[in-house]
Copies of this chain bind each other. A is one copy, B any other.
Amino acid sequence: MIGRYQPFHLGHLQCIQHVLKKLPEVIIAIGSAQFSHTLHNPFTAGERLTMIRLAMDEAKINASTYYVIPIRDLRVHDLWVAHVVSQTPRFEIVFSNEPVTSRLFKEAGFRVEPIPFYDRETYSATEIRERVVKGESWDKLVPASVAAYIKSIFGDERLRELALSDSPKHQKSARASPF
């Protein structure tokens, strides 16, 4: 299951619970792992990994049923499938709602399935980042342990400061992709 988890929210969690009902193990691949400190990718891979472990423990999901693995973006699309394969245990199904990811894995011969998001309008990382920037309430959209962690590292303050940038590199709005 490939996502950016900026941040990890209750929709992601429901997804993983859904997959684990059908399959014995799931690999949670943290995409764009090298990026952080932008509106679109505010948290480091290590911070996102911490959120996921906290959320899984809170939901009492057995840690031996999942892997969490940071995966860099390569920009060179036709190497990316090989990169994912080399950094992860063997897998058979790819869960993704992103058309480019789906196409690449399909062309490489993998079975690709859509992620069954629950209430996708509300449980959206983009929505959460926007609420943080605007100073609106956001913490009910993520597991309680994730909300507490984000505050403990001043992640909400970081997002608000990043939103002040007028450099074109950083201007990409907080609203951007399904993850």
Contact = CB atoms under 8 A, between A and B. Distances in A.
Interface string A149-179: 0000000001001111111111010001110
B77 A49 contact: no
Contacts of A64: 53, 57, 63
A62 interface: yes
Copies of this protein in the complex:
6
A103 B162 CA distance: 8
Interface in A110-166: 158, 161-166
Interface in A36-60: 36-38, 40, 44-46, 49-50, 53, 57
A82 interface: yes
